[in-house]
Chains A and B, each alone.
Chain A
Protein backbone atom coordinates (compact mmCIF):
# COMPACT_ATOMS: atom_id res chain seq x y z
CA UNK A 1 0.00 0.00 0.00
CA UNK A 2 1.43 3.37 -0.99
CA UNK A 3 2.09 6.16 1.48
CA UNK A 4 -0.13 8.44 -0.66
CA UNK A 5 -3.21 6.34 0.14
CA UNK A 6 -2.36 6.35 3.86
CA UNK A 7 -1.85 10.12 3.77
CA UNK A 8 -5.12 10.56 1.91
CA UNK A 9 -6.90 8.51 4.56
CA UNK A 10 -5.31 10.39 7.45
CA UNK A 11 -6.04 13.76 5.83
CA UNK A 12 -9.69 12.78 5.34
CA UNK A 13 -9.60 12.39 1.56
CA UNK A 14 -10.32 8.65 1.44
CA UNK A 15 -12.71 6.34 3.28
CA UNK A 16 -12.10 3.37 5.59
CA UNK A 17 -13.42 0.99 2.91
CA UNK A 18 -10.83 2.26 0.43
CA UNK A 19 -8.01 1.79 2.90
CA UNK A 20 -9.19 -1.72 3.83
CA UNK A 21 -9.41 -2.65 0.15
CA UNK A 22 -5.95 -1.34 -0.68
CA UNK A 23 -4.58 -3.04 2.43
CA UNK A 24 -5.97 -6.39 1.28
CA UNK A 25 -4.61 -5.82 -2.21
CA UNK A 26 -1.09 -4.99 -1.00
CA UNK A 27 1.76 -7.52 -1.12
CA UNK A 28 2.26 -7.40 2.60
CA UNK A 29 -0.98 -6.57 4.48
CA UNK A 30 0.74 -6.76 7.86
CA UNK A 31 3.35 -4.21 6.84
CA UNK A 32 0.62 -1.99 5.39
CA UNK A 33 -1.31 -2.17 8.66
CA UNK A 34 1.81 -1.28 10.61
CA UNK A 35 2.42 1.73 8.36
CA UNK A 36 -1.14 2.87 8.82
CA UNK A 37 -0.89 2.50 12.59
CA UNK A 38 2.31 4.56 12.61
CA UNK A 39 0.62 7.33 10.65
CA UNK A 40 -2.40 7.24 12.95
CA UNK A 41 -0.15 7.53 16.00
CA UNK A 42 1.45 10.63 14.43
CA UNK A 43 -2.03 11.98 13.86
CA UNK A 44 -2.95 11.27 17.49
CA UNK A 45 0.19 13.12 18.59
CA UNK A 46 -0.86 16.19 16.59
CA UNK A 47 -4.35 16.07 18.07
CA UNK A 48 -2.87 15.79 21.56
CA UNK A 49 -0.72 18.85 20.88
CA UNK A 50 -3.78 20.96 20.15
CA UNK A 51 -5.87 19.37 22.88
CA UNK A 52 -3.35 20.55 25.51
CA UNK A 53 -3.94 24.21 24.62
CA UNK A 54 -5.66 25.65 27.71
CA UNK A 55 -8.91 27.55 27.05
CA UNK A 56 -8.77 31.36 27.25
CA UNK A 57 -9.97 32.88 30.53
CA UNK A 58 -12.15 35.64 29.14
CA UNK A 59 -12.15 34.65 25.50
CA UNK A 60 -14.47 35.97 22.83
CA UNK A 61 -16.68 38.27 24.99
CA UNK A 62 -13.63 40.35 25.89
CA UNK A 63 -12.69 40.77 22.22
CA UNK A 64 -16.26 41.62 21.23
CA UNK A 65 -16.47 44.20 24.00
CA UNK A 66 -13.27 45.84 22.80
CA UNK A 67 -14.50 45.72 19.21
CA UNK A 68 -17.71 47.54 20.08
CA UNK A 69 -15.68 50.49 21.36
CA UNK A 70 -13.51 50.69 18.23
CA UNK A 71 -14.56 53.25 15.58
CA UNK A 72 -15.79 51.88 12.28
CA UNK A 73 -13.43 52.64 9.38
CA UNK A 74 -14.90 53.66 6.02
CA UNK A 75 -15.09 50.88 3.48
CA UNK A 76 -14.56 51.12 -0.25
CA UNK A 77 -17.49 50.47 -2.58
CA UNK A 78 -15.97 47.20 -3.87
CA UNK A 79 -15.33 45.89 -0.34
CA UNK A 80 -18.81 46.71 0.82
CA UNK A 81 -20.26 45.06 -2.26
CA UNK A 82 -18.24 41.85 -1.77
CA UNK A 83 -19.16 41.71 1.90
CA UNK A 84 -22.82 42.05 1.01
CA UNK A 85 -22.45 39.23 -1.51
CA UNK A 86 -20.79 36.94 1.01
CA UNK A 87 -23.47 37.76 3.53
CA UNK A 88 -23.22 38.13 7.24
CA UNK A 89 -22.31 34.81 8.85
CA UNK A 90 -25.44 33.04 10.02
CA UNK A 91 -24.60 32.95 13.71
CA UNK A 92 -24.12 36.71 13.90
CA UNK A 93 -27.25 37.26 11.86
CA UNK A 94 -29.35 35.06 14.17
CA UNK A 95 -28.03 36.85 17.23
CA UNK A 96 -29.15 40.18 15.88
CA UNK A 97 -32.75 39.24 15.13
CA UNK A 98 -34.75 41.64 17.32
CA UNK A 99 -37.18 40.07 19.79
CA UNK A 100 -40.90 40.73 19.13
CA UNK A 101 -42.55 43.47 21.22
CA UNK A 102 -43.22 42.12 24.72
CA UNK A 103 -41.17 38.96 24.15
CA UNK A 104 -41.86 35.67 22.38
CA UNK A 105 -44.62 34.46 24.77
CA UNK A 106 -46.61 37.67 24.27
CA UNK A 107 -46.23 37.30 20.51
CA UNK A 108 -47.53 33.70 20.65
CA UNK A 109 -50.53 34.84 22.74
CA UNK A 110 -51.30 37.56 20.20
CA UNK A 111 -51.10 35.02 17.39
CA UNK A 112 -53.43 32.60 19.24
CA UNK A 113 -56.04 35.30 19.84
CA UNK A 114 -55.89 36.32 16.16
CA UNK A 115 -56.38 32.70 15.12
CA UNK A 116 -59.35 32.32 17.45
CA UNK A 117 -60.97 35.43 15.98
CA UNK A 118 -60.57 34.26 12.37
CA UNK A 119 -63.54 32.19 10.98
CA UNK A 120 -62.69 28.61 10.12
CA UNK A 121 -62.14 28.13 6.36
CA UNK A 122 -64.33 25.76 4.31
CA UNK A 123 -62.74 22.34 4.45
CA UNK A 124 -62.58 19.82 1.63
CA UNK A 125 -64.43 16.83 3.07
CA UNK A 126 -62.97 14.27 0.70
CA UNK A 127 -60.58 11.90 2.35
CA UNK A 128 -57.54 10.43 0.74
CA UNK A 129 -59.32 7.09 0.37
CA UNK A 130 -62.22 8.52 -1.65
CA UNK A 131 -62.26 7.37 -5.27
CA UNK A 132 -61.91 10.19 -7.73
CA UNK A 133 -62.71 8.70 -11.16
CA UNK A 134 -60.81 11.18 -13.24
CA UNK A 135 -57.64 10.70 -11.25
CA UNK A 136 -57.79 7.21 -9.74
CA UNK A 137 -58.93 5.26 -12.80
CA UNK A 138 -56.50 5.51 -15.65
CA UNK A 139 -59.03 4.13 -18.17
CA UNK A 140 -61.87 6.47 -17.14
CA UNK A 141 -63.47 8.21 -20.09
CA UNK A 142 -61.55 6.29 -22.72
CA UNK A 143 -64.86 4.93 -24.17
CA UNK A 144 -65.52 8.39 -25.55
CA UNK A 145 -62.43 8.23 -27.72
CA UNK A 146 -62.85 7.24 -31.37
CA UNK A 147 -61.28 3.89 -32.16
CA UNK A 148 -58.91 3.75 -35.08
CA UNK A 149 -57.88 0.62 -36.94
CA UNK A 150 -54.28 -0.24 -36.63
CA UNK A 151 -52.35 -1.49 -39.64
CA UNK A 152 -50.14 -4.49 -38.91
CA UNK A 153 -47.35 -5.86 -40.99
CA UNK A 154 -47.83 -9.46 -42.11
CA UNK A 155 -45.12 -11.77 -40.96
CA UNK A 156 -43.80 -14.15 -43.62
CA UNK A 157 -42.60 -17.41 -42.13
CA UNK A 158 -40.07 -19.22 -44.23
CA UNK A 159 -40.73 -22.97 -44.63
CA UNK A 160 -38.79 -25.36 -42.48
CA UNK A 161 -36.25 -27.64 -44.09
CA UNK A 162 -38.35 -30.70 -43.16
CA UNK A 163 -41.43 -29.21 -44.83
CA UNK A 164 -39.45 -28.58 -48.04
CA UNK A 165 -38.08 -32.11 -47.88
CA UNK A 166 -41.62 -33.59 -47.56
CA UNK A 167 -42.87 -31.56 -50.53
CA UNK A 168 -39.93 -32.62 -52.65
CA UNK A 169 -40.31 -36.27 -51.53
CA UNK A 170 -43.93 -36.21 -52.66
CA UNK A 171 -42.69 -35.11 -56.10
CA UNK A 172 -44.42 -31.74 -55.93
CA UNK A 173 -43.12 -28.27 -56.80
CA UNK A 174 -42.39 -25.83 -54.07
CA UNK A 175 -45.15 -23.17 -53.72
CA UNK A 176 -44.46 -19.62 -54.73
CA UNK A 177 -45.77 -18.37 -51.40
CA UNK A 178 -43.63 -19.94 -48.66
CA UNK A 179 -46.46 -19.62 -46.12
CA UNK A 180 -48.43 -22.23 -47.99
CA UNK A 181 -45.78 -24.86 -47.65
Chain B
Protein backbone atom coordinates (compact mmCIF):
# COMPACT_ATOMS: atom_id res chain seq x y z
CA UNK B 1 0.00 0.00 0.00
CA UNK B 2 1.35 3.49 -0.85
CA UNK B 3 2.19 5.78 2.06
CA UNK B 4 2.94 9.51 2.12
CA UNK B 5 6.16 10.94 3.44
CA UNK B 6 5.66 13.92 5.84
CA UNK B 7 6.79 16.33 3.12
CA UNK B 8 4.32 14.82 0.66
CA UNK B 9 1.54 15.08 3.24
CA UNK B 10 2.42 18.74 3.67
CA UNK B 11 2.22 19.25 -0.07
CA UNK B 12 -1.08 17.40 -0.14
CA UNK B 13 -2.48 19.81 2.45
CA UNK B 14 -1.01 22.82 0.60
CA UNK B 15 -2.83 21.68 -2.51
CA UNK B 16 -6.10 21.33 -0.63
CA UNK B 17 -5.71 24.85 0.81
CA UNK B 18 -4.84 26.32 -2.60
CA UNK B 19 -7.89 24.70 -4.12
CA UNK B 20 -10.27 25.86 -1.42
CA UNK B 21 -8.84 29.23 -0.33
CA UNK B 22 -11.28 31.40 -2.30
CA UNK B 23 -14.26 29.50 -1.01
CA UNK B 24 -12.99 29.56 2.58
CA UNK B 25 -12.42 33.30 2.40
CA UNK B 26 -15.95 33.79 0.99
CA UNK B 27 -17.46 31.78 3.85
CA UNK B 28 -15.50 33.81 6.41
CA UNK B 29 -16.42 37.10 4.74
CA UNK B 30 -20.13 36.33 4.83
CA UNK B 31 -19.85 35.86 8.61
CA UNK B 32 -17.48 38.73 9.44
CA UNK B 33 -18.24 41.20 6.60
CA UNK B 34 -14.78 42.66 6.72
CA UNK B 35 -12.02 41.64 4.30
CA UNK B 36 -9.19 41.92 6.83
CA UNK B 37 -11.04 39.91 9.48
CA UNK B 38 -12.08 37.34 6.88
CA UNK B 39 -8.47 36.95 5.82
CA UNK B 40 -7.32 36.56 9.43
CA UNK B 41 -10.05 34.03 10.11
CA UNK B 42 -9.14 32.00 7.03
CA UNK B 43 -5.48 31.93 7.97
CA UNK B 44 -6.24 31.00 11.56
CA UNK B 45 -8.57 28.22 10.41
CA UNK B 46 -6.03 26.80 7.96
CA UNK B 47 -3.31 26.75 10.62
CA UNK B 48 -5.68 25.17 13.12
CA UNK B 49 -6.69 22.56 10.54
CA UNK B 50 -3.05 21.78 9.78
CA UNK B 51 -2.18 21.30 13.44
CA UNK B 52 -5.16 18.93 13.80
CA UNK B 53 -4.73 17.12 10.50
CA UNK B 54 -4.27 13.82 12.35
CA UNK B 55 -7.90 14.12 13.53
CA UNK B 56 -9.22 14.26 9.97
CA UNK B 57 -11.18 11.01 9.65
CA UNK B 58 -11.81 11.13 5.93
CA UNK B 59 -9.17 12.94 3.85
CA UNK B 60 -11.58 12.86 0.88
CA UNK B 61 -13.83 15.30 2.74
CA UNK B 62 -11.02 17.78 3.45
CA UNK B 63 -12.96 20.68 1.85
CA UNK B 64 -16.01 20.21 4.08
CA UNK B 65 -13.72 19.86 7.09
CA UNK B 66 -11.91 23.12 6.28
CA UNK B 67 -15.23 24.96 5.83
CA UNK B 68 -16.43 23.75 9.22
CA UNK B 69 -13.25 25.02 10.88
CA UNK B 70 -13.46 28.37 9.07
CA UNK B 71 -17.06 28.80 10.16
CA UNK B 72 -16.19 28.05 13.77
CA UNK B 73 -13.22 30.40 13.78
CA UNK B 74 -15.17 33.21 12.09
CA UNK B 75 -18.11 32.82 14.48
CA UNK B 76 -15.74 32.87 17.48
CA UNK B 77 -14.08 36.00 16.13
CA UNK B 78 -17.44 37.69 15.67
CA UNK B 79 -18.42 36.86 19.26
CA UNK B 80 -15.11 38.07 20.69
CA UNK B 81 -15.07 41.34 18.77
CA UNK B 82 -18.74 42.16 19.18
CA UNK B 83 -18.26 45.89 19.89
CA UNK B 84 -16.18 46.38 16.75
CA UNK B 85 -18.05 44.00 14.55
CA UNK B 86 -21.50 45.07 15.69
CA UNK B 87 -20.93 48.40 14.02
CA UNK B 88 -19.68 46.76 10.87
CA UNK B 89 -22.66 44.41 10.97
CA UNK B 90 -25.04 47.34 10.94
CA UNK B 91 -23.24 49.50 8.44
CA UNK B 92 -21.63 46.67 6.51
CA UNK B 93 -20.21 47.88 3.23
CA UNK B 94 -20.91 51.53 4.05
CA UNK B 95 -17.63 51.71 5.98
CA UNK B 96 -15.70 50.42 3.02
CA UNK B 97 -17.45 52.50 0.40
CA UNK B 98 -16.88 56.24 -0.01
CA UNK B 99 -19.43 58.36 1.83
CA UNK B 100 -21.84 60.03 -0.54
CA UNK B 101 -23.48 63.34 0.26
CA UNK B 102 -26.99 62.45 -0.85
CA UNK B 103 -28.81 59.55 0.70
CA UNK B 104 -29.77 57.04 -1.94
CA UNK B 105 -32.81 55.21 -0.59
CA UNK B 106 -32.67 52.42 -3.17
CA UNK B 107 -28.96 51.87 -2.47
CA UNK B 108 -29.48 51.65 1.28
CA UNK B 109 -32.35 49.24 0.74
CA UNK B 110 -30.16 47.11 -1.50
CA UNK B 111 -27.43 47.16 1.18
CA UNK B 112 -29.95 46.17 3.79
CA UNK B 113 -31.17 43.33 1.60
CA UNK B 114 -27.60 42.18 0.99
CA UNK B 115 -26.82 42.27 4.71
CA UNK B 116 -29.89 40.17 5.43
CA UNK B 117 -28.78 37.69 2.78
CA UNK B 118 -25.26 37.56 4.22
CA UNK B 119 -26.72 36.82 7.64
CA UNK B 120 -28.76 34.02 6.09
CA UNK B 121 -25.65 32.59 4.38
CA UNK B 122 -23.75 32.80 7.68
CA UNK B 123 -26.48 30.74 9.36
CA UNK B 124 -26.29 27.91 6.81
CA UNK B 125 -24.69 24.59 7.75
CA UNK B 126 -20.99 24.24 6.80
CA UNK B 127 -21.82 22.02 3.84
CA UNK B 128 -24.62 24.24 2.57
CA UNK B 129 -22.41 27.28 2.98
CA UNK B 130 -19.60 25.59 1.03
CA UNK B 131 -21.95 24.54 -1.75
CA UNK B 132 -23.54 27.98 -2.08
CA UNK B 133 -20.16 29.73 -2.05
CA UNK B 134 -18.71 27.39 -4.67
CA UNK B 135 -21.80 27.78 -6.82
CA UNK B 136 -22.07 31.57 -6.75
CA UNK B 137 -18.53 32.73 -6.00
CA UNK B 138 -16.56 30.21 -8.03
CA UNK B 139 -19.39 29.53 -10.52
CA UNK B 140 -18.96 25.77 -10.27
CA UNK B 141 -21.67 23.34 -11.35
CA UNK B 142 -23.12 20.54 -9.24
CA UNK B 143 -20.75 17.88 -10.61
CA UNK B 144 -17.64 20.00 -10.00
CA UNK B 145 -18.79 20.78 -6.45
CA UNK B 146 -19.45 17.08 -5.85
CA UNK B 147 -15.93 16.24 -7.00
CA UNK B 148 -14.40 18.88 -4.76
CA UNK B 149 -16.37 17.85 -1.69
CA UNK B 150 -16.04 14.12 -2.39
CA UNK B 151 -19.81 13.62 -2.46
CA UNK B 152 -22.53 12.35 -4.76
CA UNK B 153 -23.86 15.00 -7.24
CA UNK B 154 -27.43 14.20 -6.12
CA UNK B 155 -26.51 14.97 -2.52
CA UNK B 156 -24.97 18.26 -3.65
CA UNK B 157 -28.09 19.13 -5.68
CA UNK B 158 -30.21 18.51 -2.59
CA UNK B 159 -27.92 20.65 -0.42
CA UNK B 160 -27.98 23.47 -2.98
CA UNK B 161 -31.75 23.24 -3.28
CA UNK B 162 -32.22 23.53 0.50
CA UNK B 163 -29.73 26.38 0.80
CA UNK B 164 -31.33 28.30 -2.07
CA UNK B 165 -34.72 27.78 -0.48
CA UNK B 166 -33.52 29.27 2.80
CA UNK B 167 -31.91 32.27 1.07
CA UNK B 168 -34.91 32.81 -1.20
CA UNK B 169 -37.19 33.12 1.81
CA UNK B 170 -35.07 36.02 3.10
CA UNK B 171 -35.01 37.66 -0.30
CA UNK B 172 -38.77 37.39 -0.78
CA UNK B 173 -39.39 38.77 2.73
CA UNK B 174 -37.11 41.74 2.09
CA UNK B 175 -38.69 42.41 -1.31
CA UNK B 176 -42.15 42.40 0.29
CA UNK B 177 -40.97 44.86 2.95
CA UNK B 178 -39.57 47.12 0.23
CA UNK B 179 -42.83 47.01 -1.74
CA UNK B 180 -44.85 47.83 1.39
CA UNK B 181 -42.48 50.71 2.22
CA UNK B 182 -42.71 52.12 -1.28
CA UNK B 183 -46.49 51.79 -1.15
CA UNK B 184 -46.67 53.75 2.13
CA UNK B 185 -44.40 56.49 0.75
CA UNK B 186 -46.54 56.95 -2.32
CA UNK B 187 -49.66 56.92 -0.13
CA UNK B 188 -48.25 59.76 2.05
CA UNK B 189 -47.32 61.75 -1.03
- Are B58 and A82 in contact, with the CB atoms below 8 A? yes
B150 — nearest CB in chain A belongs to which residue? A86
Chain B 26-49: CB-based contact to A (< 8 A → 1; otherwise 0): 100110000110110011001100
Q: Is the CB of B17 within 8 A of A73?
A: no
For residue B117, CB closer than 8 A to chain A, the reply is: yes
Q: Report how far A62 CA is from B53 CA in the complex, Å.
A: 20
Whether B4 contacts A75 by the Cβ 8 Å rule is yes
Q: CA separation between A59 and B11, bound complex, in Å?
A: 18
Minimal Cβ-Cβ distance residue in B for A77: B3
- Cα–Cα, bound, A149→B113 (Å): 90
**Residue B183 is within 8 A (CB to CB) of chain A in the complex:** no
CB distance from A49 to the nearest CB of B (A): 5
Inter-chain contact A89/B35, CB cutoff 8 Å? no
Q: How large is the interface on A (under 10, 10 to 19, 20 to 34, 35 or more residues)?
A: 35 or more
Q: A63-B46, A91-B15 are in contact. Are A53 and B137 (CB under 8 A)?
A: yes
Once bound together, how far apart are the Cα atoms of A72 and B118, in whole Å? 35
Q: How far is the CB of B83 from chain A (nearest CB, A)?
A: 23
User: Which of B14, B38, B59, B164 is close to A56, meaning CB atoms less than 8 Å apart?
Assistant: B38
Set A11, A75, A82: member contacting B142, Cβ < 8 A: A11
Q: Does the CB pair B39–A59 fall under 8 Å?
A: yes
A56-73 interface with B by 8 A CB criterion: 56-60, 62-64, 66-67, 70, 72-73
Minimum CB–CB distance for A78 against chain B, Å: 9
Instruction: Say whether, besides A42-B171, A67-B46, A57 and B26 are in contact (CB < 8 Å).
Output: no
Dominant secondary structure of chain A at its interface with chain B: helix
The verdict on A7 contacting chain B, using a C-beta distance below 8 Å, is yes
- Interface residue ranges of A108-137 to B (CB < 8 Å): none
Complex interface residues of chain A between 74 and 107 (CB less than 8 A to chain B):
74-77, 79-86, 88-93, 96
Option from B59, B118, B157 in Cβ contact (under 8 Å) with A82: B59
Which of B25, B50, B142 is within 8 Å of A13, CB to CB? B142
Q: How far is the CA of A91 from the CA of B16 in the complex (A)?
A: 10
Cβ < 8 Å to B, chain A residues 1-58: 7, 10-13, 42, 45-50, 52-58
Q: How far is the CB of B167 from chain A (nearest CB, A)?
A: 6
Does B52 interact with chain A (Cβ within 8 Å)? yes
A46, A64, A79: the one contacting B59 at CB < 8 Å is A79
A50 neighbours in B (Cβ, 8 Å): 26, 133, 136-137
B 125-140 binary contact with A (CB < 8 Å = 1; else 0): 0000000110011000
A81–B58 contact, CB under 8 A?
no
Question: Which residues of chain B come closer than 8 Å to A96, judged between CB atoms?
Answer: 11
- CB neighbours of B53 from chain A (8 A): 73, 75, 79
Partner of B43, one of A52, A63, A86, A89: A63
Could you give 19 example pairs across A and B, Cβ below 8 Å?
A: A13-B142, A42-B164, A46-B167, A50-B136, A52-B114, A56-B25, A58-B39, A62-B43, A63-B46, A70-B50, A75-B4, A75-B6, A79-B53, A79-B56, A83-B9, A84-B2, A84-B4, A88-B8, A92-B15
Please give 4 more A-B residue pairs, beta carbons under 8 A apart, in addition to A72-B7, A73-B50, A89-B16.
Answer: A49-B114, A49-B117, A72-B9, A80-B9
Q: Nearest 7 A-B pairs (CB), nearest first?
A: A92-B15, A89-B15, A84-B2, A50-B136, A50-B137, A56-B39, A82-B59
